[in-house]
Structure 1
């Protein structure tokens, strides 16, 4: 136990003493998450650029009810360009779903993908609007 504390202390001292680039640390964390969840788990920059989204998030859900399992990918895209979103958002949602499913190596394990466009008011963060589109993954 004492050896673990010493090793942890040395690791933390080494990490805190280096002048690392925060972007590199974030990339390292995302690589670790993708190694655990599957390649392509984090949405690509291509998706971000489609709607000029400021934030992206993915949640995976598997639920069982009445002896049937439903598995869904929730792709949350935040604060996109209103001009892009206002012009046929369902087409944009389908394109985002298609790109995500193309890149995510474990996409075949899921039956549905839900794309959510979330817009928050910059002056009042409690004021939120959301559009949601549900697709079957077998359609892609």
Structure 2
């Protein structure tokens, strides 16, 4: 019973602290992402450099491990179509290169999949996706990764 009471008090104190904090919501998210990076590895969250390459409005990463393979899935959402250009595979390769360079645990993965996702602003259920897959070993020389 004491544990539940202690958890409730801790929860109420956290709500009080966050509601009285003069911090910006972005600052709180940055702190949360820093904590996540400490657990997963530095560079897990895609950098502003990647976001700027295609003027992407959203980015996310999924790490997938099975018995057979290990994959990084880099999702880049609602980029500027002009920046995606006629050769999106070139942009995808550059994004993969930068991500693998920055993510300290990238050598633990065999593949990286870069997904460009464009959503319809009037109907979010409508979307288009391009997917580009690369072997991380292809980036060993350019990003100073160690082989698996």
TM-score by length of 1: 0.91
Show CA shifts across 1:18-42 (max 9, x none). Answer: 2221111011011011011100000
**Any runs of at least 4 consecutive aligned residues in structure 1 with deviations exceeding 6 A, and if so which?**
none
**Alpha-carbon deviations, 1:94-134, whole Å to 9, x = none?**
00000000000000000000000001111222221110000
Give me the whole-angstrom Cα distance separating, in 2, the residues matched to 1:37 and 1:55: 20
Give the 3 Å change call, closer, same or farther, for CA 123–7 of structure 1 in structure 2: closer
Q: What is the alpha-carbon root mean square deviation over aligned residues?
A: 1.3
* Matched positions, count: 136
What is the TM-score with the length of structure 2 in the denominator?
0.86
Q: Where does the alignment leave 5 or more consecutive residues of structure 2 unmatched? A: 140-148
Output one character per residue of 1:10-63: Cα deviation in whole Å (capped at 9) or x when no partner: 333222222221111011011011011100000000000000100001000011
Q: Which has the higher strand share?
A: 1
Structure 1 residue 4: Cα displacement? 4.1
Q: What are the superposed Cα offsets for residues 46-94 of structure 1, whole Å, 9 maximum, x if unpaired?
A: 0000001000010000112xxxx20000000001011111321000000
Which runs of no fewer than 5 residues in structure 1 stay unpaired?
none
